[in-house]
Each structure stands twice: as structure tokens, then as C-alpha cells.
Amino acid sequence: MKKAMYLFLLFPFLIFSQSNSTTTSNQESVSAKQLNTNAAVKMNSIQSQFSNASIVEYQNQAINTIKDFYNYINLYHSSEITNELKVEVDKSIQNLFLTNSIQLKNVFDSTEKPISLNDFLSKCKKQSVVVSVSNFNQSKTTSDSFFTFQYTIQVTLNSNTTSHSVIQKVYFFPSEKQFGATKKNVWQLKLGEF
């Protein structure tokens, strides 16, 4: 009878210790899933996928993409541009950016409140704007999915030239492309906010 009573008193402790080990097991399972997710993120990060020399080359391509954006802006006021070419320039610029909803620094007024890409392009088309870019900072920042660059733009608007320091993200990410029947992951560069 004493043994039965001891078992009866110990039974709640046995259940508690069993549920505690189940909880610990569940916590370990959740931690393992988080580690797997973090590992998947790291597998897609720039630094885990490429050598330092390759990263430098992609950063140079990103700088050239930024320069292309400003070269397209300057085309709006070329003497040879037609309305059809302006539409093509718009499409080319929008293809450079991650999305059309990106916010850009408003270099057209003194408040410098960010404006959308479409507003930025409209202002460039309406006004006689010439933009030059220079002084790319040599210490470029690399994150898991983007590069950050600091540079200077000079904006000439109605014979007034202003200088602006810009910090811009350039996103670098894999996307699946189809080449005939073959699908392949290709890394893309897309301009981000500044």
C-alpha cells in the first residue's frame, strides 16, 4: 500500500518531467529550424556565394549601373530625342530599379523631401536638368543582399548648379531565368533608394 501511495505521489512529477523533456525537445526542434533558415539566408548572401575579387567586380558593375541612370536622365534634353525615345528611356530607367515605388532624394528643391521615381523622372523631363556623378566612396558597404555606395551628384537646373551627397543601395540577388528549356539562377543588380 505504501508503494502504491508513493507511486501516486510521484506520478505528477513523472508527468511533469516527461512534458518538460517534450518542451525541451520542441524548443530544440524550433532552434534547429531557425538555424536551417539562417543557413539558407547565408547561402544566398553575397559574401557566401562569391570571392572577394568577384564581389569587387559586381560592385564596379553596380557603380556603372548608377552612372547609366544619370546618363539616361541627361538624354531627356538631348537635341535628338523624340517623344518615342523618351518613352524608351523611361522604360530603361525603370528596368534599372528594384521597383517604381522607390523613394529618391528630391534634388530639385531645398526641402529635399524624398519623392517617387516617377515624380523624379517627371521633374527631369519638365526642367532642363543636367546631372553629373563623381566621388564614389572607395569603402563600399556589402550587406547580405545589397551594396551601399556614397557618391556626389551635381545637378544643373536653369543655370544653377547644386551639389548633393547621396547614399544609395544597389540590390544584388538571385532570380530564376529561363533560357529555352533550361532554368538557371542568375544574379541581378537593381538600383534602390537614395
Q: What confidence tens digit (pLDDT) does each residue in 51-87 have?
A: 889 999 999 999 999 999 999 999 998 888 888 999 9
pLDDT (mean) for 151-176 = 90
pLDDT (mean) for 118-137 = 89
> What's the grid cell of residue 29?
526542434
Element (H, E) at 170: strand 160-179
Q: Which residues of 144-167 are buried (b: 16+ CB within 10 A; e: fewer)?
A: eebbbbbbebebebeeeeeeeebe
Do 123 and 129 touch, CB atoms closer than 8 A? yes
> What's the grid cell of residue 149?
555606395
How far is residue 117's CA from residue 156's CA, in Å, rounded to a whole number? 19
The residues with which 161 forms a beta bridge, in sequence order, are 156
Give me the phi and psi of 168, to 5 degrees please: -130, 145
Provide the H-helix boundaries in the chain: 2-43, 46-49, 52-75, 83-96, 117-126
> What's the grid cell of residue 194?
537614395
Q: Which of 16-20, 104-108, 144-148 has the lowest mean pLDDT?
A: 16-20
- The better pLDDT of the pair 188, 38 is held by 188
**Predicted TM-score (pTM) of this structure:** 0.73
How far is residue 108's CA from residue 155's CA, in Å, rounded to a whole number? 8
Do 194 and 168 touch, CB atoms closer than 8 A? yes
